[in-house]
Chain A
Amino acid sequence: MKNSNKGLNHDEPILFEIGGMDKTGVDLNEPTFEENLIGDCFEDREIGLPGLSEPESIRHYVRLSRKNYSIDAGLYPLGSCTMKHNPRLNEKLARLKGFSEVHPLQPLSTCQGALELIDEISIWLKELTGMKAVTMTPKAGAQGELCGMLAIKKAIEARNECHRTKVLVPDSAHGTNPATAAFLGFDVVTIKSDKNGRLNFDDFKENVDKNFAAAMITNPNTCGLFEDEIIEIANYIHDAGGYLYCDGANFNALVGKVRPGDLGIDAMHINLHKTFSTPHGGGGPGSGPVVFSDILKEFCPAPLLKKDEDNYYLVENHNDKDIDKSFGRLCVFHGQMGMFVRALSYMMSHGSDGLRQVSEDAVLNANYIKSSLEDILTPAYEGYCMHEVLFNDDFLSGTGVETIDFAKALIDKGYHPMTIYFPLVVHGALLVEPTETESKNSIDQFIETIRELASKTQDGEEFFKKAPIYTPIRRLDETKAARNPVLRWQKNDVIAAE
């Protein structure tokens, strides 16, 4: 194999080119049974799984890991993603055997500590949000949305108002909002944002009619702005017989400072991997508990955690009378326990006082970036922002440089880019979320880098168009990948898709 390594940057072939059918990194005893009881479907087949010894495996994955950017290595200003520091205490505690080696269907008498932990995190979430009930089982934020909307659907059915099928979603919402509502058979109507980056209340009112079921509103919204009219909107929704679902993805801006329950919402999911620091892990696992108002709580999914005088217990089957109005079940067991341990560890570490400091610092950092860049970039909206600041691409106009080019140039400067082209309501959007776990030095250096790049756009586009150049691989052809999908390795490199 030709050596194309560059210093610390090693090329790493795929597993199927380096592994062997006769290699293994696990020593196992030889089974000795003679006859199996698998029955008709028994087969001693050739699967084709290459193996590696332990040293080879470690090297393979370590070399791969070095091709990734990470929050541990640098500021990760992805707006709407909340890439904050992941405390290692959380990792340690999630690995305690009393949590990690416990089976979800053990007799309840043998897992009281695990159930108590779920109760504790439930109490924290209810208190911090000011809501009446919480369900811990949703596996991720998008499943939390599904959970909230299923409860709303069930509530509408319980009122015998199945004609209510219309769900209003602002154009700045995450794609999961309309996707969730549509998936459940609701008719999605998109509501425009106004010139201040907030939901257009007049447009909203015009779309509320007898078929109105619910609105899904993100607050703070994806422009990084608080929906100032949220209470008026909530009242309007309730007067019209509908429900307010709040996308809580941006709860990091409010935690400890403002209770969503005071804003008139009926259901909201919380991304534990954002606000409560459970690691993003390269794309999951997430965890998306949902808090409910009094009017929706009876529709919560199974299982339900309850306590009698001495013991915790679970109501697991939705024909149990305690949860006979439940909309059903979201996952086979009790949700992302490993994430609950991490999140509770984080909440206790910060405490009530520290969590308020979290949202204050997150908002402070974002506004500091905004103020430090507003003369050279173009903020999309005036006034203070919340935990993230949104710029449009006006500052690039006439330079030939596009948002994507600017983002890729930032990579060469050692940063993961901000979120780009989202939200859709702003042209060439750049959404920056520094989070509270960045130091002032770190943020100052980021600001300095952005200023330098922004000035450089005046010197022509070439530098930006060819970026990045210092990465293990340069810009990839995404069109080719989609047009001619090769989704797995095949012997002799046969094209995989028809």
Chain B
Amino acid sequence: MRYLPLTKNDREEMLSTIGANNINELFSNIAEKVSINPKFNLPNHKTEMEVEKHLSLLSDKNLHADNSSFFIGGGSYKHHIPASVDHIIQRSEFLTSYTPYQPEISQGTLQYLYEFQTQVSLLTGMDISNASMYDGSTAAAEAVSMAKRITKRNGVILSNTIHPHYADVIKTVSGIKDTDFIYNRKFSIEIDHLFNEVDDNTACVVVQNPDFFGSCYDLSSLSKFVQSKGALLIVVVTEVLSLGMMKSPGTMGADIVACEGQSLGNPMNFGGPYVGLLSTKNKYLRQIPGRIVGESEDVDGKKGFVLTLSAREQHIRREKATSNICTNSGLCSLAFTIHLTLLGEKGFKRLSRLNHESALNLKEKILKIPEVKLLNKSFFNEFTIELPIKGKVFVDRMAEKGVLAGIPVSRLINNNKELDNFIVVASTETNTEDDMNSYIESANEVLR
């Protein structure tokens, strides 16, 4: 077996050093209780060639962003990733190292995480960030738990325009009772209703910007209002590139920002792995979950980095920890930080504008299709349209023509008939004029 170095001779020698007659003797205490070596209904080992063949066949069954005209967003976006990103993250020292618990031999990981934390803080306009979370949705849930700890209140108000699956994740894993949530899941592209919901028990208000339907908001007055009631404003961002054209959440007064970082450096991967970004104000530092890297110096006075503030974490605090989180999203945060370093200020802002431009162009073309209406007053790189037929039917028929045309809102909100004809459409720097023309031609055929 190609991954197992021990030979038959090695095994015999080693058993004799141990003083065991055979390998099963090492499992004898188990064998007294249950049968060992069960028969599995599974195939035996395969060659590299055979495995590759099998998985390639599965892969070939899928339509993907590079063999279709691709216009799907909704929290996962198709962007171009520079070749050097994937090269660097496959270096052994990054790919096959553990969590940097031994700082003397982990400065590579620790330094890039420190750089990552700084980049994320700059993007979100916040004081500090942790070393990443599983993804944007779990970062949002952790932000909500954090708000509960900080305010010592239980109430959570979720904006109606938050990604519906983000709302489900927050409700499931923030450790807060169902009855403490206010979330109507009504359709709306306004956030005014949030002002009326805040009361003395409100720990936080959660809004997404741009929201699930693509609309952008200035949250400055909301943040002031929420804070005047002693609650926190949590801003969720699922498209990190939007931060290149918008006021930062920090500037608009956010207390905690939970962001999905997949758009930088990470492919869509059918949903994971991704990288969650979590930023906050200095004063909430000791309530932030997850790993954090800090600066220090060694015995010779040389500057270096360590994992720090571990007194918050489960491996020290056990049942009193701020969270059960035990990992970050190391390699995905590396891809994120490399991509952002390659872009730099200029590149990042230009990429952001290219995305907006692409969506503007698509919007112009789409609105020429009869009976198609745009819902948004504002958007970044995705928007919502109303069709004359059911969104699901439209998207399925478009797929038959090789166009992945968007997400039917009804797939995520399945209990509101009024939304049946809506789809959310994204367009990024990767979409060419040809892609857009295929969209329009196919849509005209489907809707004819």
Contact = CB atoms under 8 A, between A and B. Distances in A.
A189 B288 CA distance: 26
Interface string A332-367: 111111110100110011111110111011011101
Interface in A179-196: 179-185, 188
Nearest to A356: B37
B61 A283 contact: no
Given A114-B62, A285-B332, A302 B168 contact: yes
B246 A38 contact: yes
Most buried by B among A335, A351, A416, A476: A476
25 contacts: A26-B351, A28-B350, A37-B363, A41-B219, A49-B343, A51-B342, A65-B92, A69-B106, A73-B93, A93-B56, A101-B267, A104-B268, A105-B407, A106-B399, A111-B270, A176-B314, A179-B323, A283-B98, A329-B169, A332-B163, A349-B51, A364-B14, A473-B104, A488-B118, A497-B128
A487 B292 contact: yes
A245 B93 CA distance: 35
Most buried by B among A32, A47, A439: A47
A327 to B, nearest CB: 7
Contact of B72 (A12, A29, A52, A106): A106
A481 B65 CA distance: 44
A475 B104 CA distance: 6
Nearest to B109: A282
A284 interface: yes
Given A43-B245, A98-B59, A176-B324, A411 B270 contact: no
Interface stretch (A55-63, A391-399, A453-461): A55-63
A62 B91 contact: yes
A402 interface: no
A480 B309 CA distance: 10
B228 interface: no
A481 B305 CA distance: 8
Contacts of A20: 344
Interface string A112-130: 1110110010001001101
A89 interface: yes
B379 A175 contact: no
Given A257-B36, A338-B273, A28 B55 contact: no
A364 B17 CA distance: 11
B433 interface: no
Given A102-B270, A103-B76, 6 more contacts: A15-B115, A93-B55, A98-B58, A282-B99, A487-B285, A487-B295
Contact of A332 (B123, B165, B354): B165
A76 interface: yes
B84 A57 contact: yes
A407 to B, nearest CB: 8
B404 to A, nearest CB: 6
A: interface residue count bin: 35 or more
A107 B404 contact: yes
A83 B34 CA distance: 28
A175 B252 contact: no
Interface in A112-151: 112-114, 116-117, 120, 124, 127-128, 130, 139-143, 145-146, 150
Contact of B271 (A28, A328, A332, A384): A332
B367 interface: no
B225 to A, nearest CB: 16
A443 to B, nearest CB: 8
B18 to A, nearest CB: 5
A2 interface: no
Contact of A487 (B269, B293, B395): B293
B375 to A, nearest CB: 13
Interface stretch (A207-215, A225-233, A289-297): A225-233
B46 A351 contact: yes
Interface string B3-19: 11111001101110111
Contact of A51 (B122, B218, B219, B341): B341
